[in-house]
Amino acid sequence: MRLILLGPPGAGKGTQAQRLVERHEIVQLSTGDMLRAAVAAGTEIGLKAKAIMDAGELVPDDIVVGIIRDRIEKADARKGFILDGFPRTVGQAEALDRMLKEKGLKLDAVIEIRVDEGILLSRIEKRAGETPGGPRADDNAEALKKRLEVYKQQTAPLVDYFRSKGLLKTVDGMKGIEEVSRSIEDALGVGNAAAKG
């Protein structure tokens, strides 16, 4: 199974991705996690990305597309993957389309986790207080405001992009973790497929 999780910062993409990983034996590919690892390791990409990430802006498309291209070729991604935080621009989505076509692979679905904007700030503040080792550098009010703005301008258009391809499934992300997780499984038709054998 190959999925994309789409939603603003604080929508619960990371949490839901982890649940999907456990249930479906697929890997979670989070460009945010990979970039944070690159920053921590002080690689060339990390050095380029740090200030951009801290400001809540987007790292250039060619960098994240390159990261994903390398990562989906690894053996553990063959059974399937969940893209968490990628694509974030129409350019990235088009690059992904080309990449998958070249490899003869198809996406199964794009899950949009829809949440009210008003709840995002408090969710992220909560996450900042709970993260082991301290809050993420971009979990502060100013960077968050920028991340939400960037989401609206650059990432939200992907909802229509994937809807037009017939891939979009929208779930209500305002419910509890369990319920959102159940809605995702329903949207994927996993229950039905199992019933049909």
Taking the complex as a whole, the smallest distance from the CB of residue 40 to ligand AMP amounts, in Å, to 13
Supply φ then ψ for residue 4, to 5 degrees: -120, 135
The residue among 143 and 171 lying less far from ligand AMP, judged by its C-beta, is 143
79 has catalytic annotation: no
DSSP strands (E only) in 2-136: 2-6, 27-30, 81-84, 109-114
The residue among 3 and 53 lying less far from ligand AMP, judged by its C-beta, is 53
Give the C-alpha distances (Å, rounded to integers) separating 150 from 51, 58, 170: 16, 8, 20
* Binding positions for ligand AMP, rule: CB under 6 A: 9, 31-32, 35, 52-53, 56-59, 64, 85-86, 88, 92, 138, 147
Residue of 23, 127, 163, 175 marked catalytic: 127
Euclidean distance between CA atoms 61 and 69, whole angstroms: 12
The residue among 56 and 173 lying less far from ligand AMP, judged by its C-beta, is 56
13 has catalytic annotation: yes
127 has catalytic annotation: yes
Q: Which of 79, 84, 55, 51 is nearest to 67 (CA)?
A: 84
Residue of 136, 146, 175, 182 marked catalytic: 136
Residue nearest to ligand AMP according to CB distances in the complex:
32
Supply the DSSP symbol for 156: T
User: Is residue 170 within a helix (H) or strand (E), and if so which, with residue range?
Assistant: strand 168-172
Taking the complex as a whole, the smallest distance from the CB of residue 59 to ligand AMP amounts, in Å, to 4
136 has catalytic annotation: yes
The residue among 57 and 185 lying less far from ligand AMP, judged by its C-beta, is 57
User: Is residue 82 within a helix (H) or strand (E), and if so which, with residue range?
Assistant: strand 81-84
Euclidean distance between CA atoms 110 and 195, whole angstroms: 23
Taking the complex as a whole, the smallest distance from the CB of residue 37 to ligand AMP amounts, in Å, to 11
23 has catalytic annotation: no
Q: Which are the catalytic amino acids?
A: 13, 88, 127, 136, 147
